[in-house]
Amino acid sequence: MTQQEITDQPRTPAPRLSLRFSSTRRGARLARQLAVQQFTEWTGLPHDCDHAHTVAVLTAELASNAVRHGSLPGRDFRLVLLLLPYALRVEVTDTRPERRPEPVPAAPQSLDAPSGRGLLLVEAYAERWGWERRDACTKTVWGEVALPSPPEA
């Protein structure tokens, strides 16, 4: 095969799943469960492995933040899972683009506070994370969970 033939070959798109959930606690819980299920199907890893746990924590935090801080009445949030060669990318899109994620503090204000640790967990568990405003009506917060290295032969 020549270099031109290799370049002209259609690329197989990365496995991708996109679903909408109600902006409720139940919707956030279902998003977390689905993310773990899809991750284990794509990778063949067990549900109880560390990587699946990381996917669960990351998805739970992003989805609960979308429900708590990014929802408008009657508007859903979207979960997108994208299997990249090096990571699973978890994206959660909500309907409040003006509510940007706050910079992550070095430590929570108070250990007794009932909330305020979500982005600390995202930063701790995600290989990389960030957010972007893709249009005037939504914002997407994303995080990537590194895939395990294949065993050396």
Q: Could you report the per-residue pLDDT of 20-30, keeping only the tens digit for each?
A: 999 999 999 99
76 is a domain residue: yes
What Cα–Cα distance (Å) separates residue 138 from each residue in 26, 95, 101, 134?
21, 5, 13, 7
The order of strands in the sheet holding 77-83 is: 16-21, 77-83, 87-94, 139-146, 128-132
12 is a domain residue: no
The residue ranking higher by pLDDT, 41 or 113, is: 41
Separation of alpha carbons 66 and 139, rounded Å: 10
In this prediction the pTM is 0.82
* DSSP reduced 3-state for 5: helix
- 133: pLDDT strictly greater than 80: yes
CATH of the domain at 34: 3.30.565.10
Bridge-based pairing of strands 128-132 and 139-146 is: antiparallel
92 is a domain residue: yes
105 is a domain residue: no
Q: What are phi and psi of 60, to 5 degrees?
A: -60, -45
- 2: pLDDT strictly greater than 70: no
7 is a domain residue: no
109 is a domain residue: no
Distance of CA 76 to the CA centre of its chain: 16
Q: Which domain holds residue 28?
A: 18-99+118-146
104 is a domain residue: no
Q: With bands split at pLDDT 50, 70 and 90, how would you rate the model's confidence at 100?
A: confident
67 is a domain residue: yes
Domain count for the chain:
1
